[in-house]
Amino acid sequence: MMQAMKGATMPTMTRTAEVKTRTTAQIKADAAAVYARWGISLSDAINIFLAKSIEVGGLPFDMRPETPTFDGLERCAYRPSLDTNGVARLPGDWDDGE
């Protein structure tokens, strides 16, 4: 049976099991502040997440890769070292078969 709890649904049974996880102090504080605005504790938010995961049979939100941005692609781009004439220097182990 589910009971309304400040806008969320939570099981009415006694909570005795523990779930432990590690995160950064900043993430914990920021998340607690987000949920405090909704009037729920971080513990309640985690319980809501777990209950919703069971309800939908997986993560209760879509997982998709970050949309590539120019800055992100720029950070990953190959940048060869250049000689004094501005010509790219090939790596020492380069072998093009010639």
> Is 33 domain-assigned?
yes
> How many separate domains does the chain show?
1
Q: Note the pTM of the prediction, 2 decimals.
A: 0.53
Count the neighbouring beta carbons within 10 Å of the beta carbon of residue 47: 19
Q: Report how far apart, in Å, the C-alpha atoms of 60 and of each of 3, 10, 44 are.
A: 20, 15, 16
> Is 40 domain-assigned?
yes
**Residues 43 and 32: beta-carbon distance below 8 Å:** no
Residue span of the structural domain in which 7 resides: 2-56
> Is 79 domain-assigned?
no
> Is 50 domain-assigned?
yes
pLDDT band at 2 (very low <50, low <70, confident <90, very high): very low
| Predicted confidence (pLDDT) at residue 5 exceeds the cutoff of 50 | no
